[in-house]
């Protein structure tokens, strides 16, 4: 028998490989050369320091939204609201970045802290409604996404600018970019946020696996009746899980505001960071380390895809198909599990 | 020569790593009730699934009415006249009895329209012939569990079964419903139907069965005539060693009152009052058994005491200190332990390792955690100690609780609850679904706890268990304690009447 740990590693790996194979078949059937396509993808993601920097930059918010969704999942909740929490975190970080004059060592942490509190507040509302009134968090978080989109657009036009479509730039003391880092990575948009994302991944792992808080959250996620029976407050844990999940996504927004862009612009629709986070969490088996690895893969696919049209003539839409196929195989991990078990049985 | 309707000869069935059935013979005579006896995990269900076509045997032969057959799937079994009533019913709740029965073989008129009238008439006819008394127009969700089971039996008859397999049919029934089922089984065999009864309840075998085939750890032990055997012999055949049924215990030494419940009123989730002014005292060093038919407020009473449900009015005192409407954690900390009725829903986090389940109520205390950081070293040290002390069979303390057998899961819960040295130990259906070996062990534990001077509250729907273990029996009916009797001064008939709310209730002679 396979151990469950081996299973958890094998399934996403096989999913990715299957996704790449099916992607190759699709490229072939449309008359493109899949080897050229994948070489362009690889070089476009890791080919030189510039592309590596771009991949890291793209992965950073995905790690955090992945953590947000994984964390909620582990506590038995489905946080569709990471999207909205990203918006709120982004606008909060930019607001602090513009309106305070502080030394760097205080300004950056303060902006990130306020972003996490704002995202946490955006998660708290559905958590509160779920805990006290039993309203399903999926419904509320979807609605909260719309509210976040339009509230931030209003804020940008009326508070962070004078009727403009972009906010003012944040002060240099709030920026996550640094000249040395930019130069090292070939003048890409990479910023220090990647380190923050890794630290928060470590934090999530520690909180969930090593503390009594995580013990309670996971118990509530697995079986809330048993959690209640053994004296844990199910309501408090639901609210806490949503606040922490919201805070992770809020920090993802701060990464965009303080790192990638340095300002915020009005959005016509979602950033998709929150929705991609669902796929990241799924591929990462809802673990911290898994989310980090899955986010890097997604970031690499997204950044590398940009080089496929000029170098191999493959349209970017195809990369979206490859990503979709990978998610498809992860979601149908049951099939892979079944095939593996069959295979194992055949060996006996 | 014997007239066998079904013969299973030298059946062997393997699963990866285990032999579930080895060399098992079962020969079913026409018109007999044949018991298939074995402990949980002995291979009873595997054998029946082979007969019903869900598994293919590696070796052996199945004959139906003398002819060798290959049963490749349940449809083949149905065509050969073999029907099975599973322990968990396969019924559509929102359909009527008739709709459920015809599902999959609907009679039609004009080629496509379901002829429900015709089906209902046929079902009424069948139901009268076998004394099943089922209304074909009633909806499944509106009828009792016993009635639902009869619908399942009707379903097999409607499909023309003359061999019916009943998988632990009495596990879900009240004593009264069990009596009815026994009458139905007798009516069925009179009409020439043959029955295989899967069970581990020995009393039922003695009462209704003609012959009994015993399997132990996947091996066929043999077939005995029930008239030539007794409960003790059957038990030792099943377990492989002698079992004592009368739980040995000294007389109780009741001391001060530990739990005192006064005029308690509790509502259920639908806001119906389920506990209606209940009074109950339990003393240190005694076991009080609550006898009653399921649904008379027992669950609500226990949930109210343990803080899981709100008390509307009245008072609960533990050692003279108020316990009313405290949180479950406060109740636990005041010295109450609770072995819950549903060990999967309440008792365990099945996806947690068994070791982490053992600290489910104490994880936040030293030495299991410090400054909110868990000490897995101390947790597993403690768990290993309890696992050994209480003989929980698990490959490792890090094995998920889900992977353990029901008996070992229950032993782990008992270890956890008893180890906290509670003043009051509440055990609800502590032996449900367990085999005789495990039951014996758990009863022994409860009595040990009593002898250590703890108050024990036992809730059970098994009268045998109540009679055997309790020092005092409180009969619960319609949300009240209607009588308190001593087990040695009463019998099952009297308890049955009291549980049904009969007015002949003796004035409580405590």
The confidence score (pLDDT) of residue A347 equals 46
B96: β partners? B139
Residues B53 and B159 in one domain: yes
Q: Answer whether residue A117 is part of any domain.
A: yes
Q: Answer whether residue B410 is part of any domain.
A: no
- Boundary (domain end) residue, out of B239, B269, B295: B239
Other C-beta atoms closer than 10 Å to the C-beta of B463 total: 17
Residue B261 and residue B276 in contact, taking contact as beta carbons nearer than 8 Å: no
Domain extent, residue A182, equals 65-291
- Boundary (domain end) residue, out of B190, B207, B239: B239
Q: Answer whether residue A320 is part of any domain.
A: no
The confidence score (pLDDT) of residue A138 equals 94
Contact B349 A219 (CB under 8 A): yes
Measure A2 CA to nearest chain B CA, in Å.
13
The confidence score (pLDDT) of residue B507 equals 43
Mean pLDDT over each residue of chain A, to the nearest integer: 90
Q: Answer whether residue B330 is part of any domain.
A: yes
How many Å apart are CA A130 and CA A245, to the nearest integer? 14
Contact A212 B364 (CB under 8 A): yes
Measure A64 CA to nearest chain B CA, in Å.
24
Measure A120 CA to nearest chain B CA, in Å.
22
Which chain B residues touch A226 with a CB distance below 8 Å? 345-349, 360
Q: Which of B300, B295, B294 is nearest to B275 (CA)?
A: B300
Q: Answer whether residue A214 is part of any domain.
A: yes
A134: left (phi over 0), alpha (psi -120 to 50) or beta: left
Q: Answer whether residue B244 is part of any domain.
A: no
Residues B208 and B297 in one domain: no
Give the confidence band of A344 by pLDDT, cuts at 50, 70, 90.
low
| Per-residue CA distances from B457 to B266, B390, B472 (Å) | 18, 21, 10
pLDDT digits (tens, 9 = 90+) for A111-140: 999 999 999 999 999 999 999 999 999 999
Q: Answer whether residue A232 is part of any domain.
A: yes
Task: Please name the member of A219, A231, A233 whose beta carbon is closest to the beta carbon of B352.
Answer: A219
How many Å apart are CA B21 and CA B13, to the nearest integer? 5
Q: Is B246 on the interface with A (CB under 8 A)?
A: no
Residues B146 and B201 in one domain: yes
Q: Residue A228 pLDDT > 60, yes or no? A: yes
Residue A45 and residue A300 in contact, taking contact as beta carbons nearer than 8 Å: yes
Q: Which of A146, A169, A158, A189 is nearest to A93 (CA)?
A: A169
Residues B41 and B132 in one domain: yes
Q: Which of A163, A147, A182, A142 is nearest to A274 (CA)?
A: A142
Q: What percent of chain B has pLDDT over 90?
A: 51
Q: Residue B2 pLDDT > 70, yes or no? A: no
A131 burial class (0-12, 13-18, 19+ CB within 10 angstroms)?
buried
Q: Is A205 on the interface with B (CB under 8 A)?
A: no
How many Å apart are CA A318 and CA B322, to the nearest integer? 68
Q: Is B19 on the interface with A (CB under 8 A)?
A: no
Residues 6+ away with beta carbon under 8 Å from B131: B183, B184, B187
Q: Residue B214 pLDDT > 50, yes or no? A: yes
How many Å apart are CA B58 and CA B18, to the nearest integer? 13
The confidence score (pLDDT) of residue A253 equals 97
Task: Please name the member of B346, B350, B363 whose beta carbon is closest to the beta carbon of A229.
Answer: B346
The confidence score (pLDDT) of residue A348 equals 40
Q: Answer whether residue B328 is part of any domain.
A: yes
B369: closest chain A residue by CA: A212
Q: Answer whether residue A42 is part of any domain.
A: no
B261: β partners? B280, B316
B24: β partners? B11
Q: Answer whether residue A186 is part of any domain.
A: yes
Measure A242 CA to nearest chain B CA, in Å.
20
Residue B288 and residue B486 in contact, taking contact as beta carbons nearer than 8 Å: no
Residues B227 and B259 in one domain: no
The confidence score (pLDDT) of residue B508 equals 43
How many Å apart are CA A158 and CA A150, to the nearest integer? 12
Average pLDDT over residues A322-339: 72
Residues 6+ away with beta carbon under 8 Å from B103: B92, B95
Residue A148 and residue A80 in contact, taking contact as beta carbons nearer than 8 Å: no
Kindly provide the ipTM of the predicted complex, given to two decimals.
Answer: 0.84
Q: Answer whether residue A237 is part of any domain.
A: yes
Residue A183 and residue A45 in contact, taking contact as beta carbons nearer than 8 Å: no
Question: What are the DSSP E strand ranges found in B252-332?
Answer: 257-267, 273-283, 287-291, 311-318, 321-322
How many Å apart are CA B392 and CA B396, to the nearest integer? 10
Q: Residue B482 pLDDT > 50, yes or no? A: yes
Residues 277-316 of chain B whose Cβ lies under 8 A from any Cβ of chain A: 306, 308
Other C-beta atoms closer than 10 Å to the C-beta of A30 total: 10
3-state secondary structure (DSSP) of residue B245: coil
| Per-residue CA distances from A222 to A77, A316, B106, B368 (Å) | 10, 40, 41, 21
Q: Answer whether residue B440 is part of any domain.
A: no
Q: Answer whether residue A99 is part of any domain.
A: yes
Which chain B residues touch A223 with a CB distance below 8 Å? 345, 348-351
A300 burial class (0-12, 13-18, 19+ CB within 10 angstroms)?
buried
A interface mutation test: which of B354, B360, B375, B401 has the most A CBs within 10 A? B360
CATH number at residue B65: 3.40.50.300
pLDDT digits (tens, 9 = 90+) for B274-328: 999 999 999 999 999 999 887 889 999 999 999 999 999 999 999 999 999 999 9
| Per-residue CA distances from A228 to A217, B307, B443 (Å) | 12, 10, 27
Q: Is A328 on the interface with B (CB under 8 A)?
A: no
Residues B207 and B280 in one domain: no
Q: Answer whether residue B93 is part of any domain.
A: yes
The confidence score (pLDDT) of residue A149 equals 96
Q: Answer whether residue B465 is part of any domain.
A: yes
Contact A211 B373 (CB under 8 A): yes
Residues B153 and B292 in one domain: no
- Side by side, the strands of the sheet bearing B311-318 are B273-283, B257-267, B311-318, B321-322
Residues 6+ away with beta carbon under 8 Å from A170: A93, A94, A97, A98, A111, A257, A258, A262, A263
Give the confidence band of B202 by pLDDT, cuts at 50, 70, 90.
confident
The confidence score (pLDDT) of residue B110 equals 75
Mind spelling out the 3-state secondary structure of A84-110? HHHHHHHHHHHHHHHHCCCCHHHHHHH
Give the confidence band of B505 by pLDDT, cuts at 50, 70, 90.
very low
Residues B297 and B232 in one domain: no
A207: closest chain B residue by CA: B373
CA dihedral A95, A96, A102, A103 (to 10 degrees): -110
Residues 224-243 of chain A whose Cβ lies under 8 A from any Cβ of chain B: 225-233
Q: What percent of chain B has pLDDT over 70?
A: 96
DSSP states along B60-98: EEEEETTEEE---SHHHHHHTTEEEE-SS----TTSBHH
How many Å apart are CA A278 and CA B254, to the nearest integer? 60
pLDDT digits (tens, 9 = 90+) for B254-278: 889 999 999 999 998 888 899 999 9
Lowest mean pLDDT of A89-103, B86-100, B413-427, name the range: B86-100
How many Å apart are CA A77 and CA A129, to the nearest integer? 13
pLDDT: which is higher, B87 or B135: B135
Average pLDDT over residues B479-501: 87
pLDDT: which is higher, B504 or A186: A186
Give the confidence band of B434 by pLDDT, cuts at 50, 70, 90.
confident
Residue A293 and residue A197 in contact, taking contact as beta carbons nearer than 8 Å: no
Residues B178 and B317 in one domain: no
Lowest mean pLDDT of A156-165, A282-291, A326-335, B375-384, name the range: A326-335
Domain extent, residue B496, equals 255-335+455-510
Residues B281 and B232 in one domain: no
3-state secondary structure (DSSP) of residue A33: coil
Q: Which of A305, A304, A306, A336 is nearest to A18 (CA)?
A: A336
Q: Residue B109 pLDDT > 90, yes or no? A: no
pLDDT digits (tens, 9 = 90+) for A243-288: 999 999 999 999 999 999 999 999 999 999 999 999 899 888 899 9
pLDDT digits (tens, 9 = 90+) for B112-159: 788 888 889 989 998 888 888 888 998 988 888 888 899 999 999 998
Residue B255 and residue B284 in contact, taking contact as beta carbons nearer than 8 Å: yes
Number of domains making up chain B: 2
Number of domains making up chain A: 1
């Amino acid at each position: 028998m396979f151990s469950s740990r081996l299973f958890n590693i094998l399934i996403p790996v096989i999913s990715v490989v299957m996704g790449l194979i099916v992607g190759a078949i699709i490229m072939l059937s449309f008359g493109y050369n899949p080897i050229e396509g994948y070489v362009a993808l690889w070089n476009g993601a890791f080919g030189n320091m510039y592309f590596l920097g771009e991949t890291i930059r793209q992965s950073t918010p995905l790690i955090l939204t992945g953590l947000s969704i994984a964390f909620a999942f582990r506590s038995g909740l489905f946080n569709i609201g990471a999207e909205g929490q990203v918006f709120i975190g982004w606008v909060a970080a930019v607001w602090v970045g513009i309106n305070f004059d502080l030394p760097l060592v205080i300004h950056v942490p303060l902006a990130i802290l306020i972003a996490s509190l704002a995202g946490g507040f955006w998660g708290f509302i559905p958590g509160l409604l779920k805990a006290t009134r039993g309203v399903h968090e999926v419904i509320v978080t979807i609605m909260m996404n719309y509210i976040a989109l339009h509230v931030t657009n209003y804020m940008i036009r009326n508070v962070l600018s004078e009727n403009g479509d972009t906010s003012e730039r944040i002060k240099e003391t709030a920026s996550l970019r640094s000249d040395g880092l930019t130069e090292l990575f070939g003048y890409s948009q990479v910023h220090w946020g990647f380190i923050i994302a890794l630290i928060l991944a470590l934090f999530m792992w520690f909180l969930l696996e090593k503390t009594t808080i995580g013990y309670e959250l996971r118990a509530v996620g697995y079986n809330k009746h048993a959690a209640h029976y053994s004296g844990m407050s199910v309501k408090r844990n639901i609210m806490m899980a949503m606040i922490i999940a919201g805070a992770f996504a809020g920090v993802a927004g701060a990464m965009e505001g303080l790192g990638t862009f340095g300002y915020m612009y009005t959005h016509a629709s979602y950033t998709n960071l929150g929705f991609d986070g669902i796929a990241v969490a799924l591929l990462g088996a809802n673990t911290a380390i898994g989310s980090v690895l899955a986010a890097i893969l997604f970031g690499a696919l997204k950044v590398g895809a940009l080089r496929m049209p000029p170098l191999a003539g493959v349209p970017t839409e195809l990369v979206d198909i490859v990503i979709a196929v990978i998610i498809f195989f992860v979601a149908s991990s049951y099939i892979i599990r079944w095939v593996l078990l069959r295979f194992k049985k055949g060996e006996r | 020569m014997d007239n066998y309707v079904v013969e299973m000869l030298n059946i062997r069935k393997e699963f990866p790593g285990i032999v579930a059935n080895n060399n098992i013979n079962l020969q079913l005579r026409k018109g007999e009730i044949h018991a298939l006896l074995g402990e949980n995990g002995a291979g009873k269900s595997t054998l029946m699934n082979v007969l019903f076509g869900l598994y293919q045997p590696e070796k052996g032969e199945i004959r139906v009415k003398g002819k060798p057959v290959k049963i490749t799937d349940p449809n083949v079994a149905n065509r050969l006249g073999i029907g099975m009533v599973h322990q968990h019913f396969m019924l559509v709740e929102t359909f009527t009895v008739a709709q459920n029965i015809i599902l999959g073989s609907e009679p039609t008129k004009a080629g496509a329209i379901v002829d429900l009238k015709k089906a209902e008439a046929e079902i009424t006819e069948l139901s009268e012939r076998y004394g099943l008394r089922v209304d074909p127009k009633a909806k499944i969700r509106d009828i009792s569990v016993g009635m639902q089971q009869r619908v399942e039996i009707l379903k097999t008859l409607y499909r023309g079964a003359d061999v019916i397999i009943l998988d632990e049919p009495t596990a879900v029934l009240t004593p009264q419903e069990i009596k009815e089922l026994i009458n139905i089984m007798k009516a069925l065999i009179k009409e020439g139907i043959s029955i295989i009864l899967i069970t581990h309840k020995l009393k039922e075998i003695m009462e209704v069965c003609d012959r009994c085939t015993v399997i132990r750890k996947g091996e066929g032990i043999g077939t005995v005539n029930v008239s030539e055997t007794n409960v003790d012999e059957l038990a030792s055949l099943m377990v492989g060693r002698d079992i004592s049924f009368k739980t040995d215990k000294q007389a109780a030494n009741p001391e001060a009152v530990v739990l005192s419940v006064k005029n308690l009123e509790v509502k259920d989730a639908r806001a119906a009052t389920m506990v209606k002014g209940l009074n109950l005292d339990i003393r240190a060093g005694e076991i009080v058994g609550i006898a009653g038919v399921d649904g008379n407020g027992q669950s609500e009473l226990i949930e109210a005491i343990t803080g899981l449900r709100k008390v509307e009015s009245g008072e609960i005192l533990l050692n003279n200190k108020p316990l009313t409407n405290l949180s479950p954690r406060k109740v636990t900390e005041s010295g109450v332990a609770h072995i819950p009725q549903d060990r999967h829903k309440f008792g365990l986090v099945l996806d947690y390792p068994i070791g982490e389940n053992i600290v489910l109520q104490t994880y936040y205390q030293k030495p299991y955690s410090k400054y909110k950081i868990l000490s897995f070293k101390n947790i597993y040290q403690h768990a290993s100690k309890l696992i050994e002390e209480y003989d929980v069979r698990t490959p490792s303390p890090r094995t998920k609780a889900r992977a353990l057998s029901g008996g070992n899961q229950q032993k782990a819960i008992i270890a956890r609850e008893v180890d906290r040295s509670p003043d009051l130990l509440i055990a609800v259906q502590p032996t449900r679904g367990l085999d005789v070996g495990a039951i014996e062990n758990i009863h022994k534990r409860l009595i040990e706890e009593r002898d250590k001077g703890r108050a024990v509250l036992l809730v059970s729907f098994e009268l045998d268990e109540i009679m055997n273990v309790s020092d005092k029996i409180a009969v619960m009916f319609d949300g009240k304690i209607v009588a308190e009797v001593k087990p040695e001064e009463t019998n099952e008939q009297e308890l049955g009447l009291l549980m049904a709310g009969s007015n002949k209730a003796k004035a409580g002679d405590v």
